[in-house]
Amino acid sequence: MYDFHTHTLLSDGVLLPTELLRRMQVLGYSVVGITDHVDASNISETLLSLGRVSKSAHAMGIRMLCGVEITHVPPSEIAELALYAKENGADIVVVHGESPVEPVIPGTNNAAVSCSHVDILAHPGLITLKDASLAKKHDIALEITARGGHNRTNGHVVRVAEKTGCLLVVDSDAHQPGDLMSGRDREIIASGAGISDKILKNLLSAEENEFCLRFT
């Protein structure tokens, strides 16, 4: 299994990175992205701290992706921060999308999917067909999320992805132990969003998902 969107006490989560990794190891995950919230104030320190955990992840047999979630910054800053992240050790860059339950600045989705250094647009809310097409063009995955509130628009995201052919991932956006998903939890989130049984297995697999293959 994979999860590209998790948080630790480096931002607003409650677990040390190593404890998060251990809990995910027990659940059967093989690919884990730790993507704490960042803006210009903490991006350097976050990447440096996560880099120190790679040895522990390797010892657990987990492919840990050192990452960030660029969060609530002005859309004009997204490309610059995404490039900075990639140039300073980030394996994966997530952007906090225009969720229906937070005051994300309008234009954030468009700025994210227009940037080739972004990998995932998290909980993109009522994303437009135009922005989803840009995500397709730049190989940026749209997220189906388990996070309460953010997940209200999962069905819309799936329908838009079907129309545009853009990539999808299923993530927890975990902040605490109870947020981590079992294999069955992941199936329920994806099926409940309208993912067909025909593609469900491949979508959820770290070995089969088209987006995941770039990290394995």
pLDDT tens digits for range 66-104: 999 999 999 999 999 999 999 999 999 999 999 999 999
* pLDDT (0 to 100) of residue 89: 95
Q: Give the pLDDT score at 29.
A: 97
Q: What is the pLDDT of residue 215?
A: 83
The pLDDT of residue 213 is 87
CA nearest neighbour of 28 among 207, 211, 210 = 207
| Residue 108 domain boundaries | 2-215
pLDDT score for 51: 95
Report the pLDDT averaged over residues 4-11. Answer: 98
pLDDT of residue 9: 97
Average pLDDT, the chain: 97
In which band, very low, low, confident or very high, does the pLDDT at 32 lie, cut at 50, 70 and 90?
very high
pLDDT single digits (tens) 149-173:
999 999 999 999 999 999 999 999 9
Instruction: Retrieve residue 154's tokens.
Output: 């999962």
pLDDT reading at 216 higher than 90: no
DSSP conformational letter for 204:
H
The CATH number for 8's domain is 3.20.20.140
Q: What pLDDT is stored for residue 214 in this prediction?
A: 86
Could you tell me which residues come within 8 angstroms of residue 155 by beta carbon, excluding any fewer than 6 positions away? 193, 194
The answer, yes or no, to whether residue 5 has pLDDT greater than 90, is yes
Q: What is the pLDDT of residue 78?
A: 98
pTM for this prediction: 0.97
Mean pLDDT, range 104-110, rounded to an integer: 98
CB 91 within 8 A of CB 112: no
Which two tokens mark 134? 């840009």
Which residues touch 23 (CB under 8 Å, ≥6 apart)?
15, 177, 180
Q: pLDDT above 90 covers what percent of the chain?
A: 96
User: Number of structural domains, the chain?
Assistant: 1
Q: Is 178 left (phi over 0), alpha (psi -120 to 50) or beta?
A: alpha
